[in-house]
Structure 1
Amino acid sequence: MRNCLFIFTLLATQFTAVFQYSLSAADDVIHIGSRRELLVDHYLIDHLKNVRLVLNRPRDEGVALEFDKPWEGLFCGYCTVIKDEELYRLYYRGSPKVGADGNQNEVYCCAESKDGISWTKPELDLFEIPGHSKNNIILADAAPVTHNFCPMLDTRPGVPAGERYKAIGGTMTSGLIAMTSADGLHWKKLQEEPVITTTMVPYNYMFDSQNLAFWSTHENKYVCYFRVFEGGIRRICRSTSDDFINWSEPILMKYRNPNGEAPIEHLYTNQTHPYFRAPHLYVSIAARFMPGRQVLTDEQAKAINVSPKYFKDTSDAILMTSRGGSFYDRTFPGGFIRPGIGARNWVSRTNYPALNVVQTGPAEMSIYLNQDYAQPTSHLRRYSIRLDGFASAQGPYAGGELLTKPLTFTGGKLSINFGTSAAGSIRVEIQDPSGNPLPGYSLADSDEQIGNEIERVVTWKQSSDVSSLSGKPVRLRFVIKDADLFAFKFGD
């Protein structure tokens, strides 16, 4: 009996000593609370052993919507997809003829869906087009806002009902003009003066693209990302606001990866938005523009009837992420969605992503790309990918490990989004900040996680309870064999 008591006392003393460990600085511990963390960057990663972060490319699901109305046409673009409760709404510029940016012929249209997969164009009577008293136009006679009108659903607590939707749009001649709407269909200016002016931006050319804004629950403020030119290259600036009217001095976004500075390339649209399952993480599915990188011959361009001068460049979609501040993480410099097979996919300003990723199934989310630009077959295309599945930590058959930096969490359970082969598995060890396994949470205690699930609760000797560790600094050691880890989250 005395021996049992001695062992129990010794274990209890060791367990208590673990949390008397003193870190060199408070900043050494990352507080994740109950946030879902995606494996898209190295923010939480301290060490990888025979494990690598891989980019997971979406699957082509075909044409989602054809831009085939007389007021839509070849130069439709700058699309935004918003999920408002049970309704999906798509906004896009209608422009059948080539013209100067911000010309009077540009309009903004909408389409609607109940699932984000099948889309219809509503018959509205807000603006009349000759011969078409009913159409799907929600904004006209509002140049230059209709060049790049970009709406958002304002999730700020206490926002007035009449401002539930907000939008910005405009060119360098006008500045960025703010608009509001109660229903996403009827729009009016928030004020006559632009909210972000050219005098605020220390660059020679700006706003010549889709510029966007959103309410950030992570930063508790509005955030705006807009296009500028810096050193002859299309770059991105960031500004913030408490009221959507008064904006901070813009900062030029920089790019980084684990090796330091990432390559600076032309990014035509940035499409930065809070990821809906982890809003502290901003996902940017940007249009990478390669000016002068011509693929098609004159004969090939003529065969697909692309508008003259719109086949001299190429574009694709890349993935970046940000957690606020002045940096994008370009963990994966390669293409996220590559141009498809056939000449139509290799023209200027095609493959531009729509703003926002939305959930379109229990385990699926969708990304939309504007394709066949400047062609009679102009359309929006849908791509699908698993929830949280932009990237993953992938271990080979031989196995490998991912060790996190010291972190604190809140909650009583750990769940993972993962997939294994039939022979593969993931096991999780919880350590103290020095790397010592905690009693009851060692690798030997960990139950193998085998399968393919969006949310699997991790167990140790059939127990999932980690509440005793909540709020205390720990490390997570993931042992990954022939498997992918997409995300993890603590909670109850």
Structure 2
Amino acid sequence: MKNFSLYRPLLACSISFVMMGMARQEAAAVMPVKDTVVKVIDISTRRQLFVDNYLIDHLGGGAQMQMNHPEAKEVVIEHGEPWEGSYCNNHSIFKDGDIYRMYYAAVHYNVQQGKVIDNEHPFYLCYAESNDGIHWRKPNLGLYEFRGSKQNNIIMTEDKMGDVRPGASSAAMFIDDNPDAAPDAKYKAIIGDYTEIGGSPQGALAFKSRDAIHWVPMHNKPVISGGSFDSQNLGFWDAAHKEYRAYWRYMAGEEKVRSIRTASSKDFINWSNYADLKYVNSPEEHLYNNVIKSYPRSPDIIMGFPIRYIERPWSASMRALPEPEHRKMRSSSVDRFGTALTEGLFMTSRDGVTFNRWNEAFLRPGIERPGTWNYGQQFIGWTMVETKSALEGAPDELSFYATESCWTGNSTLLRRFTMRMDGFVSITAPLSGGELVTKPVTFKGTHLSLNVSTSAAGSVRIELQDEQGKPIPGFTLEDSQELYGDNLDKKVYWKNGSDISSLQGLPVRIRFILKDAALFSFRCQ
């Protein structure tokens, strides 16, 4: 059989690239916040996060924007079945009522001296489910035969389906939040189209399902063209703009830089408004899976967790990384298989095209240990879900899932990471203090609540100002009741109470004075 690994997930190009755009030190992770054009922004009752400078007019004192990092938890699933293997990736995860669903590429690479064998079994798409997002099971679906048995969790193969041949290992399934979605298309997917075994993708196919298990093509040919389509292709319903959005990979310029392209659609079949993603104050870097989707708690913000791909030269540091002998063996086939490193980034957008991308890593490779610091680690699954906290009485948290232990054996591990709700970026200040002043906003609601964390000695005080920055009587800093604690929904009080309904519809600025505190989001409600 022809070796076609160079067209598949993570092995899509055998050309070595120089490392592009070294990341800045984390201590410098402060984004520009001053906007020369001041306009009134209607925030209504929507939750407001500080992931960009959209609302920020001024940061003073010791206050700064700080990107936060998820905390590593347990391995939730091992992809070690005979039909799975050493390079299972491209996970898509979502909560569907009381059940969590997971789809992933089942891929095995047998690494030997001077070669990587990828045809010991075909590439599959597999399925797992969970009641809590932590403990996962692989149901016997009985759909496809593997070595004489249908007792497996294979949900799609790369065999021809009608007129199309789906690259199942590139799929990203999602539950369609479009209120007008047809019952037989409650679940959808964008999948690369392989017109022949070993051929490069011809475009992206649209798939649908009534039950999240049985999938059929929505059209007899690709609905999206102009790209590579050999890593995870994805689409979703953008509720804020009332349209579908798709994101996929393409190779940019003569240097063939791994980049991201997007388009929009009203019906998931006819796509237009093709655009290449733009970035604010970020260098050109190789980006693999894009992991982009609207943030459910604030749907007007589109978030991405793209995978940064970096090739490092052989050095003392490279040779000191985990499993050096296996690293050398991988490189004996193609050098970058042993020297490339991957990690997760964080970026956000308000329009789906221009993104604010933090240049520092969101999910680093972490402490050196077996299965880490290699090509394919920290590929973040698409995308985060809410799960219960392990702390009794604590609120739900966000769970992310990322790969590790690629290449080296017969299985791949998927580890869970957690973060507080809205915890991506905070406005953080030391005990000596700092302040944040917003641009003028109008709102609806009767009170203001904060997602905030302070120390026992820390605090937050809030002042409401008019459009020109003059304190509003009754809502001045002197009137503010000192707020402290750690809560996702902490109500703000002044001397006369919490009621702000008298200011509804009027342009106001919100001034936050923070001491040893982190402010993640706020909401008028």
Deviation, 1:342, is: 2.0
SS of the residue 2:305 aligns to: strand
**Does 1:378 pair with 2:412?**
yes
Distance, in Å, in 2 between the alignment partners of 1:241 and 1:284 is 19
Contact kept, 8 Å, 1:275 with 1:357, in 2: the verdict is no
**Does 1:392 pair with 2:426?**
yes
Q: Kindly provide the CA deviation profile for residues 78-119 of structure 1, in whole angstroms up to 9, marking residues without a partner as x.
A: 111111111101110011236899998111001111111111
Distance, in Å, in 1 between the alignment partners of 2:121 and 2:219 is 21
Aligned counterpart in structure 1 of residue 186 of structure 2, from 156, 164, 167: 164
Contact kept, 8 Å, 2:474 with 2:496, in 1: the verdict is no
**Does 1:68 pair with 2:80?**
yes
Q: Which amino acid aligns with 2:353?
A: S
Deviation, 1:45, is: 0.2
SS of the residue 1:302 aligns to: helix
Query: Which residue number in structure 2 is paired with residue 241 of structure 1?
Result: 265
Query: Which residue number in structure 2 is paired with residue 127 of structure 1?
Result: 144
Query: Which residue number in structure 1 is paired with residue 222 of structure 2?
Result: 194
Range that drifts further, 143-152 or 228-237: 143-152
Aligned counterpart in structure 2 of residue 347 of structure 1, from 374, 384, 393: 374
SS of the residue 2:372 aligns to: helix
Query: Which residue number in structure 2 is paired with residue 21 of structure 1?
Result: none
Instruction: Report matched runs for 1:433-444 at 5 Å.
Output: 433-444=467-478
Query: Which residue number in structure 2 is paired with residue 360 of structure 1?
Result: 387
Query: Which residue number in structure 1 is paired with residue 276 of structure 2?
Result: 252
Q: Which amino acid aligns with 2:351?
A: G
Distance, in Å, in 1 between the alignment partners of 2:86 and 2:480 is 57
Query: Which residue number in structure 1 is paired with residue 515 of structure 2?
Result: 481
**Does 1:83 pair with 2:105?**
no
Query: Which residue number in structure 1 is paired with residue 295 of structure 2?
Result: 275
SS of the residue 1:334 aligns to: strand
Q: Which amino acid aligns with 1:316?
A: E
Contact kept, 8 Å, 1:319 with 1:335, in 2: the verdict is yes
Deviation, 1:77, is: 0.8
Range that drifts further, 104-113 or 291-300: 291-300
Per the alignment, do residues 469 and 68 of structure 1 end up closer, same or farther by CA in structure 2, a change over 3 Å counting?
Answer: same
Deviation, 1:293, is: 4.9
Query: Which residue number in structure 2 is paired with residue 136 of structure 1?
Result: 153
Query: Which residue number in structure 1 is paired with residue 458 of structure 2?
Result: 424
Distance, in Å, in 2 between the alignment partners of 1:102 and 1:52 is 51
Aligned counterpart in structure 2 of residue 369 of structure 1, from 402, 406, 412: 402
Aligned counterpart in structure 1 of residue 201 of structure 2, from 173, 194, 199: 173
Distance, in Å, in 1 between the alignment partners of 2:168 and 2:417 is 26
Per the alignment, do residues 396 and 129 of structure 1 end up closer, same or farther by CA in structure 2, a change over 3 Å counting?
Answer: same
Q: Kindly provide the CA deviation profile for residues 98-151 of structure 1, in whole angstroms up to 9, marking residues without a partner as x.
A: 689999811100111111111111111011111432111111144542130111
Contact kept, 8 Å, 2:38 with 2:439, in 1: the verdict is no
**Does 1:93 pair with 2:105?**
yes
Query: Which residue number in structure 1 is paired with residue 363 of structure 2?
Result: 337
SS of the residue 1:335 aligns to: strand
SS of the residue 1:270 aligns to: coil
Q: Which amino acid aligns with 1:92?
A: Y
Matched pairs, number: 456
Q: Which amino acid aligns with 2:294?
A: P
Distance, in Å, in 2 between the alignment partners of 1:87 and 1:345 is 30
Distance, in Å, in 2 between the alignment partners of 1:390 and 1:26 is 26
Q: Which amino acid aligns with 2:425?
A: A
Query: Which residue number in structure 1 is paired with residue 171 of structure 2?
Result: 149
Range that drifts further, 213-222 or 93-102: 93-102
Contact kept, 8 Å, 1:304 with 1:343, in 2: the verdict is no
**Does 1:315 pair with 2:342?**
yes
SS of the residue 1:148 aligns to: strand
Deviation, 1:343, is: 4.8
Range that drifts further, 291-300 or 237-246: 291-300
Aligned counterpart in structure 2 of residue 107 of structure 1, from 124, 149, 166: 124
Gaps of 5+ in 1: 1-24
Q: Which amino acid aligns with 2:284?
A: I
Q: Which amino acid aligns with 2:82?
A: P
Query: Which residue number in structure 2 is paired with residue 35 of structure 1?
Result: 46
Over the matched positions of the two proteins, sequence identity in percent amounts to 39
Per the alignment, do residues 126 and 94 of structure 1 end up closer, same or farther by CA in structure 2, a change over 3 Å counting?
Answer: same
Distance, in Å, in 2 between the alignment partners of 1:468 and 1:104 is 67
Contact kept, 8 Å, 1:315 with 1:352, in 2: the verdict is yes
Q: Which amino acid aligns with 1:179?
A: F
Distance, in Å, in 1 between the alignment partners of 2:121 and 2:268 is 26
Range that drifts further, 228-237 or 25-34: 25-34
Deviation, 1:363, is: 3.3
Report the TM-score, using the length of structure 2 for normalisation. Answer: 0.83
Per the alignment, do residues 489 and 103 of structure 1 end up closer, same or farther by CA in structure 2, a change over 3 Å counting?
Answer: farther
Q: Which amino acid aligns with 1:371?
A: E
Contact kept, 8 Å, 2:104 with 2:169, in 1: the verdict is no
Range that drifts further, 473-482 or 355-364: 355-364
Query: Which residue number in structure 2 is paired with residue 472 of structure 1?
Result: 506
Per the alignment, do residues 396 and 187 of structure 1 end up closer, same or farther by CA in structure 2, a change over 3 Å counting?
Answer: same
Give the aligned CA root-mean-square deviation in angstroms: 2.2
Distance, in Å, in 1 between the alignment partners of 2:396 and 2:201 is 44
Contact kept, 8 Å, 2:302 with 2:352, in 1: the verdict is no
Distance, in Å, in 2 between the alignment partners of 1:371 and 1:363 is 25
Aligned counterpart in structure 2 of residue 300 of structure 1, from 315, 320, 323: 323
Per the alignment, do residues 237 and 103 of structure 1 end up closer, same or farther by CA in structure 2, a change over 3 Å counting?
Answer: farther
